[in-house]
Structure 1
Amino acid sequence: MNDTTPGPLAQDGTLALRVLREHLASVYAGHTTAIAAHGVFALAIGVFGYFNVLPGHRALVLGIVTTIVLMDLYVLLSKRWTPAVPLADSPRWARRYTVHVTLVSAMTAPCSLFLVALQSPAMTTFVTVVIMGSWTRAVQARWPLKGAMFGYGIPMMSGLIVALAWYGSMLNWFLAGFALLNLVLTLREGVKQNERLTASLMLQFENEALAAQLREQVAATERASAEKTRFLAAASHDLRQPMHAIALFGAALGSTLRRRPEIQNVERLMRAVDALGASLDTMLDISRLDAGVVQAAPRALSLDALLIPLHHTFSAQAERKRLQLRVRASGLWIHSDPQLLYRMLSNLVDNALKYTTQGGVTVIARPRGDQAWIEVRDTGIGIAPEQRDRIFEEFYQVDNLGRDRSRGLGIGLSIVQRLSRLLGHRIELRSHIGRGTRFRVVLPLAEASEASAGAFSPLDLELPVRQRFEVPALRGRVLLIDDEEEIRKAMTELMSAYGIEVAAVADEAEAVALLTGPGAQEPPVALLLCDYRLSSGVDGLELGLRLRERFQLDAPMLLITGETAPERLQRVRASGVPVLFKPVTAAMLMQAMAELVPAERRTEAPDA
């Protein structure tokens, strides 16, 4: 195999060329030293021979030595390989190097023949030792290039062996055999070293290529995930806008028709809006978790304080499907974030109920050492082994090719997985087809000191059970900034139905005109209500803050948005400005506004 032929590990030409390039770098790193040493070696032999031959032969010795030194100078002064040489030119430079060292070696061979011919045992032994030592040292520097190794060693050593054999004597025959054995063994070791070096470089470059491919795949996956997140954010925003308007108009219509028979149709409409809003909020939860805006606040709490409301929340759903829902009290104290853990357990129970048609769902907790195991067991359809990793993927659902809407969007377990990572609670899964599934949440028990200090109550959970809300008694009007006319009309009608005066504008120019025109402060602005994304890319958050500073408005600010993009959620959270996510119901809007004004100026609204 020559220097330009890829080895057995090479799977493509580029890999073989990269290996050859490294070999060239290795041999050229010691090129100057090797050639200079060869020149010194030639001069040493010349000086020794000059003073140990007949006077008539001295001119021949000088001629041979001079030729060798001139050849060494030519090789040293010739154009050398550098890392700037193109990769494709590596084979040509390998051949060039091989030719140079072969010529240098071939010019050295006559020295052996001439000096051995003197028939001096001392001269013969000296020449043999010097040439073999020079060859052995030089060939080690040329292991990376097999052709150069053979080209340098064979001419020089062959000249010595032929000279020793030609002028045969017991000593010469012994030295010739020794030199031949040295040549064979050294070349054999050189071939092995060359193969080891080549294999090592092949493996290194293959690993680098695999690492590069892995980085590309990771980058592609991250790009796909980012694109998916952007798509979902855009889709969510575009869906939330009309849903927001429907919710507002529905709330205003419900306020008008509160005591008329037509209110049933309004209630049906609002239930449909709430259902779609819940689906959109689920996608929002994914975005909030991915954005890192959800922060865990673990504390000691009684597990029963979560299990009791969990049973209350899902008992009606279980009854509708004629399933048994058993939630067993445990008396355990655990260390976790109550809101996030409750959401985890809620999603697991909700998922179990959706995929169970007979039997029931059981929630049980028990201590194991310094840990608590919370298990959600069902008698549902079960999960096949090949699907157990996929169930945590977004929008993946088991046995729901028809996308039955009653089984949700397929995001619940994705949220569970993200929450488990955020909280550091391990999730374990065990399932049998046709027999059911068990999810286990493994979390730490609370220390005795923590348990004695804990005072978490089920009432502390943020559960969607409020049917009444407070109406803000504002000493002034609401300045509403939204670029969509339908939203402005719906918001104005809704707030007007609850006795709230509204000044609605589409952009900054209209807001400035309103605040600087006649009677600008009559009545004063008591609340600034801004949409986050306005027309032409205007940022509602920046606009609201700018107006408050410019006109020194001593009024709280509330953002409304349909955004779910992680980077935008992070920015909103960092601002500290309260935010509502579309679609916004009357209860959500009024309660958020009420919480921004002093408590003594709140009144309570009738059932929404």
Structure 2
Amino acid sequence: MSATTSATVSQAQHREALQRELMRERIRLHSAMFGWLPAFHVALVALLMVTVLRELPRATTIAWACTVIVIESARASYGYWVLRHIAQIDVRYTRAGQTLACFVSAAALGSVAPLFLGQLSPAQQTLLIAVLSVVPSIGAAVSTSSRFYVLSYASGVILPTVGAWIHTYPTLGSAAVLLSITHVGVIYLATCENARTLKNSCAIRLQRDQTLRELERSNAAYLAAVEVANKESTTRARVLAAASHDLRQPLNALSLYSAVLSTNPTASVQVETGQRIGQLVHSLGELLHGLLDLSQFSSGQYVLVREPLDMGSLLESLCIEFEPIAQAKGLQLRREIGAVTLMGDPMAVARMARNLIDNAVKYTDTGWVEVRLGHEAETAVLTVSDTGCGIEPAQQARIFEEFYQVGNPGRDRSQGVGLGLTIVERLVELTGGAVMLDSEPGKGSTFRVALPGVVKPHAVDLGVHPNALDASGEQALHVEGDGRRVIVLDDEHDIIRSMSALLKLWGFMVGTASDAEEVTALFAHYGVPDLLIADLRLRGAQSGLDVALALREQHGVFPVLFVTGETSSASLQSLLEQEHPLLYKPIDPMKLRQAIDLLAPSRVQPD
């Protein structure tokens, strides 16, 4: 729809709304006038009875008087009913009803002329005609600037009056008609002018009401935004405080271990120190990955993919991964996994399932952990149960908060960093699902995740999604590099040196570059490598994605693994939308090795 058409439609809607409001306002004002009209008619009828009609037969005049008062009382009752239902009435039907009521009421009052004019003296006739001539003007005041009400009321009084006058004085008929038309015309013109004033008043009030409604909506939206901002600010402060503590502790330990290594310790101390440093780096990696995930989910940078996913196979592989850990604690890892194919995001589903199973194993000391998978209609249902410590009712509402851990006030890093369930909840919200908890202290907990999108498994590709590299198993593929050539593109020299050293230890041939010019020269001199590992963000305006795409245009398609520490940028958004393989810094060496072997398989065939 064009802007001109939209504006025309909006103007038409405004005019229609104004017309309805104007009609409703006239009806309301007119109905409000009905309250005192019976008293006015009683007074007017009584005045005519004691002055003009006092010498006429009582039965006839009383019958006329009662008719006028009954009709006017009925009109007043109708007005009261309209006022009580003013918001629900149909304005067009109600206006028609009030117009008819005006005519009937006026005709009853005006019938006094044809009934009694011929029986009156000339003086009495003059007085009666004078009174009846004034009545339409009073009706115009009561009509609240409505042409319909004025014309119906004036016609009801003047038509029988003029008819009676012409019948009594035929020679003065033309003059009576002309004067009556002039009288009604003046009243009509005055009513039209008042109608314009009322219309302007209603337009102003309608605009005022609309402005007030918009202000109320804006105020409500503002208050809601302030509440959300305050909540986010409080959450951010809590997260930063907890993250600051959890970052300082391992960094402090790393500093001390570095001092230990600088003293040339014995071989056994070096080995132990190296293991401790590895554990600390792993803990820092978990924390940073969790914070990165939360940042992506909160900023809307995470792009969900929709593809067929064999949830049964995924959960089976996760159970195999956690089985040794469970057995080391003396736990049974039960599973009842049905065949379910979900149209969903492989990384999101894998991350949710991994975090729930990891939590169950971590917080269960004796008994079992059970993983079940089924579906209800088109909804997949993942259930993870345990016989662990359980969760107190007062704590159940908080377990999805960032860094909140049951029974870990000392922030023991062996129990994780406290972001697992938060990530589960955010991913469930993103996928349109629901997560439920049923827990009893001392008996265990059951987490139930419902995910929409179950599909039939026929003719679907159930491969691993490239962006799910950091959500797959953590067992490294221990094969030699067998001379595969890898080029590392990164603008941080420490990253280049450390990754180059690690890749060479794995048996890869490594070339390094810090910008587009250097990597282009490497491709030109040595040809296309088996794999390019490129940092997404380079110095200046360069992007690893742009560099890789430019190299592919020159040399054809070759495998590229992107690495990044960013949480939101246009390049990251584009990378995710194009579904390129991606690992987030800090990079787990086992996941790095697995990604390399997946993207650039070994040329050595196993025996």
So what's the TM-score if we normalise by structure 2? Answer: 0.52
Query: Residue 583 of structure 2 corresponds to which residue in structure 1?
Result: 580
Query: Residue 172 of structure 2 corresponds to which residue in structure 1?
Result: none
**3-state SS in 2 of match to 1:535:** coil
Task: Specify whether residues 579 and 411 from structure 1 end up closer, same or farther in structure 2 by C-alpha distance, changes over 3 A only.
Answer: same
Q: Percent identity?
A: 32
2:504–2:510 contact (8 Å) kept in structure 1: yes
Task: Specify whether residues 567 and 437 from structure 1 end up closer, same or farther in structure 2 by C-alpha distance, changes over 3 A only.
Answer: farther
Query: Residue 126 of structure 1 corresponds to which residue in structure 2?
Result: 133
1:471–1:603 contact (8 Å) kept in structure 2: no
Task: Specify whether residues 260 and 525 from structure 1 end up closer, same or farther in structure 2 by C-alpha distance, changes over 3 A only.
Answer: farther
The yes-or-no answer on 1:329 pairing with 2:336 is: yes
CA distance in 2, matches of 1:602, 1:472: 7
1:572, distance to aligned residue in structure 2 (A):
1.4
The yes-or-no answer on 1:351 pairing with 2:359 is: yes
2:564–2:583 contact (8 Å) kept in structure 1: yes
1:411, distance to aligned residue in structure 2 (A):
2.3
Task: Specify whether residues 536 and 500 from structure 1 end up closer, same or farther in structure 2 by C-alpha distance, changes over 3 A only.
Answer: same
Gaps of 5+ in 1: 1-21, 31-115, 142-196, 254-258
Match of 1:213 among 213, 219, 222: 219
Query: Residue 547 of structure 2 corresponds to which residue in structure 1?
Result: 543
1:136, distance to aligned residue in structure 2 (A):
1.2
Query: Residue 295 of structure 1 corresponds to which residue in structure 2?
Result: 305
Query: Residue 424 of structure 2 corresponds to which residue in structure 1?
Result: 416
CA distance in 1, matches of 2:281, 2:599: 26
CA distance in 1, matches of 2:408, 2:215: 40
Residues paired across the two proteins, number = 405
CA distance in 1, matches of 2:378, 2:552: 53
| 1:411-444 residue CA offsets vs partner (Å, 9 max, x unmatched) | 2223323443455544322233454432223468
Matching residue's letter, 2:140: S
CA RMSD in angstroms, aligned pairs only: 5.3
Query: Residue 523 of structure 1 corresponds to which residue in structure 2?
Result: 526
Match of 1:492 among 483, 486, 500: 500
CA distance in 1, matches of 2:489, 2:460: 44
Query: Residue 414 of structure 2 corresponds to which residue in structure 1?
Result: 406
2:296–2:302 contact (8 Å) kept in structure 1: yes
CA distance in 1, matches of 2:218, 2:414: 44
Structure 1 residues 265-344: aligned runs within 5 Å: 265-287=273-295, 290-299=300-309, 303=312, 305=313, 308-319=316-327, 324-329=331-336, 332-336=338-342, 340-344=348-352
CA distance in 1, matches of 2:390, 2:124: 94
Matching residue's letter, 1:327: R
1:574, distance to aligned residue in structure 2 (A):
3.2
Structure 1 residues 457-536: aligned runs within 5 Å: 462-469=472-479, 471=481, 473-474=483-484, 478-498=486-506, 500-508=508-516, 510=518, 514=521, 521-526=524-529, 527-536=531-540
Query: Residue 142 of structure 2 corresponds to which residue in structure 1?
Result: 136
Task: Specify whether residues 266 and 467 from structure 1 end up closer, same or farther in structure 2 by C-alpha distance, changes over 3 A only.
Answer: farther
Matching residue's letter, 2:545: L
| 1:553-589 residue CA offsets vs partner (Å, 9 max, x unmatched) | 7754432212232755322123454333223355544
1:285–1:415 contact (8 Å) kept in structure 2: yes
1:207, distance to aligned residue in structure 2 (A):
5.8
1:552, distance to aligned residue in structure 2 (A):
5.0
1:404, distance to aligned residue in structure 2 (A):
3.2
2:334–2:368 contact (8 Å) kept in structure 1: no
CA distance in 1, matches of 2:551, 2:491: 16
1:391–1:398 contact (8 Å) kept in structure 2: yes
2:474–2:591 contact (8 Å) kept in structure 1: no
CA distance in 1, matches of 2:460, 2:558: 37
Task: Specify whether residues 327 and 457 from structure 1 end up closer, same or farther in structure 2 by C-alpha distance, changes over 3 A only.
Answer: farther
Task: Specify whether residues 567 and 350 from structure 1 end up closer, same or farther in structure 2 by C-alpha distance, changes over 3 A only.
Answer: farther
Matching residue's letter, 1:565: S
1:470–1:591 contact (8 Å) kept in structure 2: no
The yes-or-no answer on 1:561 pairing with 2:564 is: yes
Query: Residue 199 of structure 2 corresponds to which residue in structure 1?
Result: none
**3-state SS in 2 of match to 1:269:** helix
Matching residue's letter, 1:463: G
Query: Residue 171 of structure 2 corresponds to which residue in structure 1?
Result: none
**3-state SS in 2 of match to 1:565:** coil
1:354–1:406 contact (8 Å) kept in structure 2: no
CA distance in 1, matches of 2:560, 2:347: 26
| 1:26-56 residue CA offsets vs partner (Å, 9 max, x unmatched) | 89x99xxxxxxxxxxxxxxxxxxxxxxxxxx
CA distance in 2, matches of 1:312, 1:346: 12
**3-state SS in 1 of match to 2:340:** strand
CA distance in 1, matches of 2:524, 2:458: 54
**3-state SS in 1 of match to 2:572:** helix
1:472–1:594 contact (8 Å) kept in structure 2: no
Query: Residue 395 of structure 1 corresponds to which residue in structure 2?
Result: 403
CA distance in 1, matches of 2:318, 2:414: 20
Task: Specify whether residues 318 and 198 from structure 1 end up closer, same or farther in structure 2 by C-alpha distance, changes over 3 A only.
Answer: farther
| 1:500-549 residue CA offsets vs partner (Å, 9 max, x unmatched) | 4444343345556x56xxxx844335254332222335323223434555
So what's the TM-score if we normalise by structure 1? Answer: 0.52
Gaps of 5+ in 2: 1-17, 27-122, 148-202, 262-266
Task: Specify whether residues 587 and 431 from structure 1 end up closer, same or farther in structure 2 by C-alpha distance, changes over 3 A only.
Answer: closer
Task: Specify whether residues 545 and 200 from structure 1 end up closer, same or farther in structure 2 by C-alpha distance, changes over 3 A only.
Answer: closer
1:325–1:360 contact (8 Å) kept in structure 2: yes
**3-state SS in 1 of match to 2:336:** coil
Task: Specify whether residues 569 and 264 from structure 1 end up closer, same or farther in structure 2 by C-alpha distance, changes over 3 A only.
Answer: same
2:480–2:506 contact (8 Å) kept in structure 1: no
Structure 1 residues 168-183: aligned runs within 5 Å: none
1:375, distance to aligned residue in structure 2 (A):
3.1
1:292, distance to aligned residue in structure 2 (A):
3.7
Matching residue's letter, 1:542: D
Matching residue's letter, 2:546: E
1:454, distance to aligned residue in structure 2 (A):
8.9
CA distance in 2, matches of 1:345, 1:122: 95
Query: Residue 162 of structure 2 corresponds to which residue in structure 1?
Result: none
Task: Specify whether residues 554 and 320 from structure 1 end up closer, same or farther in structure 2 by C-alpha distance, changes over 3 A only.
Answer: closer
CA distance in 2, matches of 1:498, 1:492: 10
1:381–1:436 contact (8 Å) kept in structure 2: yes
Task: Specify whether residues 203 and 298 from structure 1 end up closer, same or farther in structure 2 by C-alpha distance, changes over 3 A only.
Answer: farther
CA distance in 2, matches of 1:437, 1:346: 16
Higher relative contact order (CA 8 A, sep 6+): 1
Matching residue's letter, 1:406: S
Query: Residue 95 of structure 1 corresponds to which residue in structure 2?
Result: none
**3-state SS in 1 of match to 2:495:** helix
Matching residue's letter, 1:471: G
Task: Specify whether residues 317 and 300 from structure 1 end up closer, same or farther in structure 2 by C-alpha distance, changes over 3 A only.
Answer: closer
Task: Specify whether residues 473 and 456 from structure 1 end up closer, same or farther in structure 2 by C-alpha distance, changes over 3 A only.
Answer: same
CA distance in 2, matches of 1:529, 1:553: 16
1:469–1:591 contact (8 Å) kept in structure 2: no
1:348–1:439 contact (8 Å) kept in structure 2: yes
1:122, distance to aligned residue in structure 2 (A):
0.8
1:596, distance to aligned residue in structure 2 (A):
4.6
Query: Residue 573 of structure 2 corresponds to which residue in structure 1?
Result: 570
**3-state SS in 2 of match to 1:480:** strand
Query: Residue 100 of structure 1 corresponds to which residue in structure 2?
Result: none
CA distance in 2, matches of 1:495, 1:300: 33
2:308–2:460 contact (8 Å) kept in structure 1: no
